[in-house]
Structure 1
Amino acid sequence: MNKSVQRHVTIQIHASEEAALMDLLNFMYSNSLPRTTPPDLLDVLMAADKFEVASCMRYCSRLLRNLPMTCESALLYLDLPSTISMGDTVQPLTDAAKKFLATRFKDLSKFQEEVLNLPLAGITAVLSSDNLQVASEDAVYDFVLKWARTHYSKLEERREILSTHLLRFIRFPCMSCRKLKKVLGCNDFDTEIASKVVLDALFFKAEAPYRQRSLMAEEANTSSRRFVERAYKYRPVKVIEFESPRLQCIVYLDLTQGECAQLFPAGRVYSQAFHLGGQGFFLSAHCNMDQQSSFHCFGLFLGMQEKGSVAFAVDYEFASRTKPSEEFVSKYKGNYTFTGGKAVGYRNLFSVPWSAFMDNDSPYFINGILHLRAELTIKQ
């Protein structure tokens, strides 16, 4: 075996890499770095990756995580080459950057312009969050299209970026059927891809609740979040529509016991819009005082969105699943002629005070869920 007699090693670097390389050499001898600003640490991190100095990569990553995070620094971290950002030593840093952006811009309606100006890495970090505060998944879809059209004016480029990077962040099963129909006709998507995501979403919506839970459980340990509802400002509903013998729809709205608890003492929660006879309606659940203003109670109301001046005469019925049968039991019936922007309902749907409604032994919460049903029929 020949013993090496080589004493000198020559490496070639770009002039821009010199400072980072000197800092890397300093670290190898002193286990410290003379400069610790985010840009300097990133340069050393890149050099450490190039020369496979894992201990320095871990050191830089830890220092960067301990520095105050800003939008600018978070985007810098997410802009690292994938060979670095996905490595075990740097992954915690990129995860922290994604979490920072998702938290910073979680109220999409409030920061719409700022998020619209984010680069691709930033927008995907925001869209990946379950805690994104947005009116509905329909609004997420509209925003993604707006972002893509803003940043990619050429149709082919836009289609490519949507299909390869952004489509998986839109939770199509949580979108309304009316919006899903628009997806099929959207020119920004490849026809085959659009058909697949819409069909998958519709099949999920058509599944029985136990089957939906099973599908969600199957993907619980994957990166996919398509079945997970975000922090929607308007609660999703499931709607069954009939065109004959009369225009009719049955609307299902589920609220958790925690969501109901947050309504006290004077809160409201609104459903996403649903349509009957071409007109938009919504449900709203309230914590309000009873008719005599003597105690708090749970109220449910039906409203019509403001649109035009057409009057709609509607028969409606509210029902709730109730123990022990766990079947839907009618709670209130009525009829009303809507003229737009109006709401009608019952202030004390269950005819009990709020405390009895929310009690642990309440017959209205089944496994922590309040199951509500509204049946609407347009009077001929």
Structure 2
Amino acid sequence: MGKPEEFLGTMRQVAIGVAKKDFESFRGQAPQRLAGKFLLLVDESGKIAYVNPANLKIHKFENTDDALEGMKQLALGINNANLNKIKANKETTKPAVASDKVKFKTDKDNNDESDETATKWKQPIQGLSTDNLKWIAEKYINNVLITNGQATVTDIKSVFGIYALTVKLSTQEEPITSYISPDGKMFFPQGLNIEERTTSDATTTEETDDKLLTKQKPEVELFVMSHCPFGTQIEKGMLPVVTALGESIDFKVKFVDYAMHGEVEVKEQLKQYCIQKEQPDKFLNYLTCFLQAGESTTCLVASAVDTVALDTCTTTADTEFSVTKNYEDKASWLSGNYPRFNIFLKENQVYGVVSSSVPTSGFGTGTTANTNNSACH
């Protein structure tokens, strides 16, 4: 980097975005996870701060000259021979310099421009590094999407013009894959390759497209994966409503036609299917317990489930729907990643279900309708 603006542009490119409220909460001392990181103060015209890894003290730079001088004082000395031995990070070899069309506001811009003009300035997309995107995704998942455990983004890679995230949840063994836009403004819990979904799924909707099925009372069918953190959140939200409505609705939990959270999910869904089918009076108590405890053994006892009858049912259902067979046949897995779970295959095709936490809701007395909502990982 030969110019001050190139230096500042590169710092912005590798920095982690921090909101003003979060930055102020640090009170000059950053948490250990930010040691050695540049921080992009997104609410302060793109100003930069640096966390000294030696003592976690935050150094805030007001302008380009301040940043350059500050880093000279904090940097370690190195000669060219040793510098050339270090491999450059491909993501940061091209400086991210603000252009004439899209750039950060300076303090002078703040003074000279009207508020209306100021709102047109935007942070450049290339200013978000993969570290920045990982940080944004982790914060969103932990603060908004899950209430139990901790999510960590362990890997990020570019696919189809966006970024695929490998997310490890402390509450489950298998990692999940979610997606984020390059500017960090859109998060996608799940993505499916459209070319791998057969067109036959859509043809079965003819059964319900012409008219709504007439029923004695509304049906509410909730399609989830038993270990999907987003699916379990909607279950927790639905259960109080289901309890309050009681016999006035016909409520069923059903499962998406593939599993994303390993063998433990496949086995749990078999259990829930059988409890709901053969011991329906125990099901809501069991499900409530499972959503809180995250495991079944304690909840089977607490809900007084007949485990002998349960084992018989799961064995029969496993054979009928080839659950274990599909799990062991990786050649049949969706996208090569997710085993098929075909107990509710027909319903998945009729409603066009492609992800977890998709409720099929009843509207009005004597009718059934469906609507697709949020996705899961």
**TM-score w.r.t. length of structure 1:** 0.28
Bigger fraction of residues in strand: 1
**TM-score w.r.t. length of structure 2:** 0.28
Give the number of the structure whose alpha-carbon radius of gyration is greater: 1
